A and B are shown apart, each in its own frame.
Chain A
Amino acid sequence: MISKADIEKLAELSRLKLDENEIAGLEKDFSAILEYVGQVSAVTVDGSREAASQLHNVMRDDVAVQNAPGNTRESLLEAFPRREGDYDVVRQIIEK
């Protein structure tokens, strides 16, 4: 139902570096899980249901608000894994 190559491709798309053991385990788990959730294939999709969705967009004014007391800006900067001054140091991705 799902091949080792499929699992490897999914790991790549999911940005997860997996070892051989885990890939083999997931191949097995996925077959059982997909067989179970595959029950939904019996459902007929009725177009009118989508039109009846109760969801709607909720907008707000585009203004800055303070949502917590204190210096929340500083606490966000402190969370940077590699901080230099007020900058977050990231890997260079464009090369000459």
Chain B
Amino acid sequence: MDDLARLSITEASKKLASGEITSLDLVRACKKNIDARNAELNAYLEVFDDIEEQAKEADARRARGESHPLLGIPLAIKDNILIQGRRVSAASKMLENYTASYDATVIKKLKEAGAVFMGRTNLDEFAMGGSTENSAFGPTHNPHDEARVAGGSSGGSASAVAAGMALGALGTDTGGSIREPASFCGIVGLKPTYGAVSRHGLIAMGSSLDQAGPMVRTLEDAQLLFDTIRGRDPFDSTSINLRPTTYDLQPKRIGVPRHLLQKGIDEDVLRSFNASLDTLKAHGAEIVDIELPSAPLALAVYYIIMPAESSTNLARFDGVRYGLSLSGDSLVDDYAKTRAAGFGPEVRRRIMLGTYVLSAGYYDAYYGKATAARAKLREEYDDVLKSVDVIATPTVPSPAFKIGEKSDPLSMYLADIFTVTANLTGHPALSVPITPVMREGKDLPVGIQFTAAHGGEDMLFAAGKMVE
């Protein structure tokens, strides 16, 4: 392969270990692709000016005898994850000039491993959206067709990995924000089990839903990155230690909720999905029909719980302690002016929606019902996952749509129909690229999504490898 930036992390790691290449070679190869395409793709909001120094430091650590598989590997970091001393904006005017005062735990772990941070990648403002069109700093474009979205909210990370501007990336996923852009850009994306990865140092959106995870080119890379960033952290009380992942699993029974695939799915996507089920069968897996009676409600449940938690988390932005600060006629007016100017339209919409569903008189009808439905959904998934190893669906009902195509918020929300469930139930879920579909002469990536029992990431990797 000519372009080193197109290697998988695992391949690059072997070449680094054998001395065939250096971290500096990898970083320069990624930088070349950035220089060629980032102006059009807008994947990175900032490329760090010390990437060569970081690479040289990694090469020096290797010369001193260190050998972590991520040592010297160039990674892209979604711009809602804190790196000490660097800016972190959440793609919002509210935090445009904010500098992180500490490292997120995931960053701390990656620094210990010796990864090189190439830069901060674009996202929907505060991770709210499925297309990265809600960024205050312009949309990210899809490397497979620049007229189309890269997906979101981790669209910058997905676009950067797909375009060879980094070997892998970190994203965050509250309702599909790792898996949907991974599907649209043709890469692998994992939303880990709730609590598997510490959220300390992530800019919070929906705290009962958020997880950080890898966005990479292969299943092996996903497992490597996941194993590096996971684990209990005293700074995140929701974090847990799961059993170590194993490498020798073989999914025997794969459940498909056919009742959810009857309408609203692009025909070509469905054909590609069915073909990958045939591949799974050819590998010896049994495909069985399953019923998830509450699943049709998942999206409605999500669009109650997520805005409720988002509006609560974003209440901290008051212009008093950090971030944008504008003056009005009174204290309340200071808040209202700062928040209206700092937050973009989608963030304002979700704050309003969250405030509504939590307000006296509506709480029981919306938030109370949604919480009950969420518990029921989790029970149904737990039950089904006793009889099958993984559940398979398309990741998204369609390939990447065009920039500006979805102008009303509800039609945008419907793209999340298959991904939100895993966030509501806490199960791990993975998107893996399958046969692309053709649109206007261009191959557009499609993903299959696998969901496993809590702590079943290794079963997901095993299922993914069967279609990879």
Q: A residues engaging B (CB < 8 A)?
A: 7, 10-18, 22, 26, 29-30, 32-34, 36-46, 49-50, 52, 58, 60, 67-70, 72, 75-76, 78-82, 88, 90-91, 93
Contacts and interface: CB of A to CB of B under 8 A. Distances in A.
Interface in B316-330: 318-323, 325, 327-328, 330
A29 B101 contact: no
A88 B300 CA distance: 42
Contacts of B340: 16-18
Contacts of B327: 91
A85 B237 CA distance: 34
A10 B352 contact: yes
Q: Which of A15, A32, A70, A82 has most chain B Cβ within 10 Å?
A: A15
B441 interface: no
Given A43-B297, A43-B369, A81-B325, 5 more contacts: A10-B356, A10-B359, A14-B348, A40-B373, A50-B372
A40 B366 contact: yes
Contacts of B337: 17
Contacts, number: 142
A91 B409 contact: no
Nearest to B317: A15
Given A17-B333, A43-B372, A79 B410 contact: no
Given A76-B101, A81-B322, A39 B376 contact: no
Nearest to B234: A60
A22 B345 contact: yes
Contacts of A11: 336, 352
B369 A40 contact: yes
A82 B325 contact: yes
B98 A79 contact: yes
A17 B409 contact: no
A49 B303 contact: no
A40 B99 contact: no
A51 B196 CA distance: 24
B333 to A, nearest CB: 7
A16 B319 contact: no
Contact of B102 (A58, A72, A79, A90): A72
B376 A75 contact: no
A14 B355 contact: yes
Q: Which of B101, B357, B410 has most chain A Cβ within 10 Å?
A: B101
Interface residues of B, number: 60
Interface in B395-429: 408-410, 413
B352 A16 contact: yes
Q: 8 nearest interchain CB pairs? A: A81-B325, A68-B102, A79-B322, A58-B237, A75-B101, A17-B336, A40-B369, A15-B335
B351 interface: yes
Contacts of B328: 17
A45 B372 CA distance: 6
Given A29-B409, A68-B103, A80 B322 contact: yes
B257 interface: no
Contacts of B365: 41
A32 B195 CA distance: 34
Interface in B345-380: 345, 348-349, 351-353, 355-357, 359, 365-366, 368-370, 372-373, 375-376
B41 interface: no
A16 to B, nearest CB: 5
Given A26-B352, A49-B375, A81-B322, A33 B409 contact: yes
A86 B430 CA distance: 47
A34 B423 CA distance: 21
Nearest to A45: B372
5 contacts: A32-B410, A36-B413, A37-B303, A38-B300, A80-B321
Contacts of A32: 408-410
A21 to B, nearest CB: 11
A43 B373 contact: yes
A1 to B, nearest CB: 11
Contact of B331 (A46, A70, A72, A91): A91
Contacts of B103: 68
Contacts of A36: 299-300, 303, 410, 413
Q: Which of A36, A40, A50, A81 has most chain B Cβ within 10 Å?
A: A40
Contacts of B376: 43, 46, 49
